[in-house]
Amino acid sequence: MLDDAARRELHESTGLRGTYLEQLFTFGDPSRDPRAHVVSAAYMALIPDASAVKAPCDKYANGRWYEVTRLPELAYDHSLIAAYALKRLKSKLEYSNIANALLPREFTFAEFEELYSLILGRPLDRRNFRRRILAMGILKCLPHTRRGPHRPAALYSFANQSLRFIEML
Amino acid sequence: MLDDAARRELHESTGLRGTYLEQLFTFGDPSRDPRAHVVSAAYMALIPDASAVKAPCDKYANGRWYEVTRLPELAYDHSLIAAYALKRLKSKLEYSNIANALLPREFTFAEFEELYSLILGRPLDRRNFRRRILAMGILKCLPHTRRGPHRPAALYSFANQSLRFIEML
DNA sequence: CCAAAAGTGTTTTAAATACACCCATGC
DNA sequence: GCATGGGTGTATTTAAAACACTTTTGG
C-alpha cells in the first residue's frame, strides 16, 4: 500500500512513528526530473513537535526546518508540492479536527488560535474565533490549567482523537 | 505527464477529445488486484453528452453507462474510486464553475438546477438557488430563448469557459 | 381555455462580523 | 501595584431558509 510505503520511508528518514499522513497528489511530468521519468505520489505528514525528528541518518542528511511561509527554492517541482500541501492543510483546518495532528495532547486556546492564524495566514478575531470553534464542539475543556508568569490558561484537548469532518450545513 | 497519459487513454477508449480531466487519487494497495501489485492513478473525466462516446473499440468493449446513484458492483476497488469521484465532483460544484464541463454551451436555468440537484442528491429551492447562483456571477444570460411546447425559457451560458473557483468569503 | 414549465419577492431565522474592557496571576 | 497574557458580551450586518402564486406559450 502506498500509505505504508510513505510511512516506512518517513520512519526511516526521520524516526517518526504514528504520524498523521495524507496523500496529496501524484506528479508525473516527465520533465520534473531531467535524469529519468519519475512518477511521485506526494504525501504530507503532520507532527506537533519539530524536535521529535531524529538527527537525520545518512539518507537526506541535509534535511532542515523552514517556516512554511519562507521556504527556500527547492529542487525539481518540490515547491509546487509544498504549496499544494499548504493549500490542502488550510482547507482541512476549516472543516475538520486535523489540527489535532499539529498540537500536543493538551494546549491553551491561545496556542490553538495561533496555529490557525499561522496556517491560514491571516489574523483572527479572538472572540469570534473562540465562539465558532467551541460551537463546532471539536475541543473539550480540561479541568486543570497551565500556570505561568501570568493568569493561568485553561487547557483544552480534542474531543475526538481521530480525524473527523465537521458538518456545517 | 500523467494528465497526458490519461487523456490519451481516454481518447483511445472513447474517442473523446478536449475533455475536462482531473486527477483524483492514487491507489496502491497490493491487494486491490490479486494478480499483481498495481498502482493506479485514478482520473475523472466529465462530458456534457453521453452520446459523444464512440462505440467502444476492442479495448473495453463491454463499457456501459450507469446512473451514478445506481452503479453495479464493479471489479477490484473501482466502486471506491467512483465514490471518490462523486464526492470530489459534489464539493467542486459548490465553489467552482466545474458544471461547465457537464453542460452544453447553452442551457436553461432549469437544466442547470436539475444537474445540481442530481449530483448533490437533494432537492433545491428554485428561488433560493437561482438567487445564489446569479449572485455568484458564474452564468451569463443570453439574449435568445429556447422555444418549446410551453413558455420559452431563457438561455444561459458560463461567464468563464475555463475552470474558476468562486470566493465566497 | 387548459396544461405545463418558467419565472418572481418577502419575511423569518441564523450566522458572521465588528468591536473594548475586565480578570487573574507572578513578580 | 503593575505588567502580561487570559478571558468575556452585545449590537449590527449579512446571508440562508422557508414559502406560493403569476406568467407565457402551444395545442
Prediction pTM value: 0.92
Q: Is the pLDDT of residue A169 over 80?
A: no
Percentage above 70 pLDDT, chain A: 96
Q: Specify the pLDDT at position B58.
A: 59
Instruction: Say if residues B20 and B45 touch (Cβ distance below 8 Å).
Output: yes
Task: Say how far apart CA A16 and CA A35 lie, in whole Å.
Answer: 30
Residue A4 pLDDT > 90, yes or no?
yes
Segment A99-106 mean pLDDT: 98
Average pLDDT rounded to a whole number, residues A39-47? 96
CA distance A107 to A153: 9
A90 touches strand C (CB under 7 A): no
Residues in B closer than 8 angstroms to A27, CB to CB, are: 2
* Of the partner residues B1, B23, B39, the one whose CB lies closest to the CB of residue A2: B39
Contact B26, A2 (CB under 8 A): yes
Longest CA–CA separation in chain A, Å: 59
Q: What is the dihedral of CA A97, A87, A28, A45, to 10 degrees?
A: -40
- The sign one gets for the Cα dihedral A50, A53, A55, A60 is negative
Asked if A76 contacts A124 with a C-beta cutoff of 8 angstroms, the reply is: no
CB atoms B26 and A29 under 8 Å: no
pLDDT per position as a tens digit, A51-73: 888 765 656 777 889 998 899 99
Q: Look at the alpha carbons of A2, A115, B90, B47 in this order and tell me if their dihedral is positive or negative.
A: negative
Q: How many Å apart are CA A114 and CA A110, to the nearest integer?
A: 6
User: A147 CA to C27 C1', in Å?
Assistant: 14
Structure confidence by residue, pLDDT tens digits, B113-127: 999 999 999 999 999
Q: Which residues contact B85 (CB under 8 A, 6 or more apart)?
A: B24, B42, B44
Tell me whether residues A1 and B30 touch, CB distance under 8 A: yes
What is the pLDDT confidence band of residue A20, given thresholds at 50, 70 and 90?
Answer: very high
User: Contact at 8 Å (CB) between B29 and A5?
Assistant: no
Give the pLDDT confidence score for residue A1 in this predicted structure. Answer: 84
Average confidence (pLDDT) over A16-24: 96
Query: Which nt is closest to the CA of B154, judged by C1'?
Result: C6
Q: Which residue has the higher pLDDT, A54 or A87?
A: A87
In the prediction, which pLDDT does B63 show? 81
Q: Does B9 touch chain A (CB under 8 A)?
A: no
Confidence band for B141, pLDDT divided at 50, 70 and 90: very high
Residue B147 has pLDDT above 90, yes or no: yes
Residue A115, CB, strand D, below 7 Å: no
Does A29 contact B at CB distance below 8 Å? yes
Is the pLDDT at B56 greater than 70? The verdict is: no
**With the C-alpha atoms ordered B113, B140, B167, B90, is the resulting torsion angle positive or negative?**
positive
> How far does the CA of B6 sit from the C1' of C13, in Å?
48
- Please state, in angstroms and as integers, the Cα–Cα distance from residue B115 to each residue in B11, B119, B122, following that order: 25, 6, 11
As a whole number of angstroms, the distance between CA A23 and CA A35 comes to: 25
Tell me the nt nearest to B150, Cα to C1': D25
- Residue A57, pLDDT score: 61
